[in-house]
Structure 1
Amino acid sequence: MSETQTTSTTTEKIAELEKQLLELRGKCDFLERIVHEVPANIYLSDLEQGLVWCNKTNEESLGYSLEEIREMGGLEYMYNIVHPDDHHIPDDSITHYQNFEGAEYGGVFRAKHRHEKEYKWFIGWAKAFSKNGADQVKELLCVDVDMSPRMNTDKQLVQALRDNLKHKNKLLIKCLRKREIEVLDLVCKGYNTKAIAEKLFISPNTVSTHRKHIQQKLGTANVADLVSLGKEAGLG
């Protein structure tokens, strides 16, 4: 191959590489725009450090720049924006992934912009994103959606919340023993203590003891709450 041909081939390869690089930059710019303009807070959370990266939507909706969050500390930032009554949500998420068994974590919580007094409701999901050398989850990819804007699907939202409550109550009831579930099912059907005892061939005192244990485990204050929770979980 002559020197002229070699130079021509090199020039063509350089031109092709420059074209590919230009296309790659265009794709990166496009994806970056999507990440920062999507109507959801997207962020990476380290199990030890808390939030370590976020998109612009997150910065705008909560009032903290990524630089300010890093300076403050990701965990401290989370406790600053999340409602005090919901601080257990990030804590539960960390605990969940410290004992990760494959099921991802999701929840509903309140958070507010740094310059606002009112809290807004968010629904969020997390996904194991990276692991350390011991094959333990190190970082989470999280997506939180602000539920405060006007919904155009009110009926669907109400049904979704009902379905979610039903699912959570089903999980809660799993903490009950088989006999306790049988008692709760009959309570939800309207049976009194005497009728339940006859139905299950146990003494009324035993039924009362079961009901007491059931309420303690489920955290209900009265029979009405107990029945409501049971029926939400599909009993009765």
Structure 2
Amino acid sequence: MTKVPSLDKLQELEQKVRELEEKCAFLERVVHEVPANIYLSDLQEGVVWCNKTNEETLGYSLEEIRRMGGLEYMKQIVHPEDLNIPDDSIAHYHEFTGAEFGGVFRAKHKVQEEYKWFMGWAKAFSHEQDGQVKEILCVDVDMSPRMNTDKQLITALQENLRLKNELLIRSLSKREIEILCLVCQGRSSKSIANQLFLSVHTVNTHRRNIQARLGTSNVADLVALAKEAGLG
């Protein structure tokens, strides 16, 4: 025989439901009114959810984003020269599951031509059964009102480049990073080979692979990139 809850118990449950509803409504209001674009991005599909601020700032409703596809949406709003930021973010979380990823990029409203500067951060939000990151939680803040001087703009571009180069460095193996550090110190392949107990041929092979991975064509560019990323 099923036991019928007492009136007091029912009233207590109803009170808890009301409190939960109020809490959910409050949290939903905070998420949608916070002065930052908040969105979830699936590593395969792109943006799958966003808050109201994101819709208002960039002009696309969540319905429109889902209809056009999250990846295509990013291509529409992000400046062509800055598309590496969302791409690098996805690449980052294919390799790393813990560290946060950030970048500076330009994006524009659907019906406007002028791009605004955003500072974005992301962190792993959900995982597949094998532990790989499935979705990332992203927060982008409009920095345009605070970037009204050439100096601030240059600083933003430098930060953007540093983050991009830092990600490239992280793609190297431990041995490649070790060799790159020595190259930054001005060491020759023979000197590096002697220190690491490798053949000169092996060191030169590593150096070629490093340059190919980082997209540099000479030692000077290689060293400059490494130093911009905080290495050497």
Instruction: Kindly report which structure 2 residues correspond to 1:165-180, keeping only aligned pairs within 5 A, or say none.
Output: none
CA distance in 2: counterparts of 1:74 and 1:115, whole angstroms: 18
CA distance in 2: counterparts of 1:125 and 1:141, whole angstroms: 8
> Taking structure 1 as reference, are residues 183 and 226 closer, same or farther at Cα in structure 2, changes over 3 Å only?
closer
* Number of the residue aligned with 1:39: 35
Tell which structure's C-alpha radius of gyration is larger.
1
- What are the superposed Cα offsets for residues 91-149 of structure 1, whole Å, 9 maximum, x if unpaired? 22222222234323211111100010011111111111111222221111111111112
> Taking structure 1 as reference, are residues 160 and 118 closer, same or farther at Cα in structure 2, changes over 3 Å only?
closer
**TM-score, with structure 1 as normaliser:** 0.68
CA contact (8 A) 1:166 1:234 kept: no
* Number of the residue aligned with 2:195: none
1:61 aligns with 2:81: no
* Number of the residue aligned with 1:206: none
Number of aligned residues: 209
1:71 aligned partner, one-letter code: R
Secondary structure of 1:23 counterpart: helix
2:52 aligned partner, one-letter code: K
Deviation at 1:181, TM superposition (A): 4.8
CA root-mean-square deviation: 4.2
CA distance in 2: counterparts of 1:131 and 1:87, whole angstroms: 24
1:123 is aligned, of 85, 108, 119, to 119
Q: Unpaired segments of 5 or more residues in structure 2?
A: 192-203
CA contact (8 A) 1:169 1:233 kept: no
> Taking structure 1 as reference, are residues 87 and 224 closer, same or farther at Cα in structure 2, changes over 3 Å only?
closer
1:105 is aligned, of 101, 104, 107, to 101
> Taking structure 1 as reference, are residues 157 and 22 closer, same or farther at Cα in structure 2, changes over 3 Å only?
farther
* Number of the residue aligned with 1:94: 90
CA contact (8 A) 1:172 1:218 kept: no
- What are the superposed Cα offsets for residues 76-103 of structure 1, whole Å, 9 maximum, x if unpaired? 1111111111222222222222223432
2:72 aligned partner, one-letter code: E
> Taking structure 1 as reference, are residues 64 and 172 closer, same or farther at Cα in structure 2, changes over 3 Å only?
closer
Identity %: 58
**TM-score, with structure 2 as normaliser:** 0.69
* Number of the residue aligned with 2:17: 21
Structure 1 runs of 4+ aligned residues shifted over 3 Å read: 155-186, 213-235
Q: Unpaired segments of 5 or more residues in structure 1?
A: 1-5, 187-195, 201-208
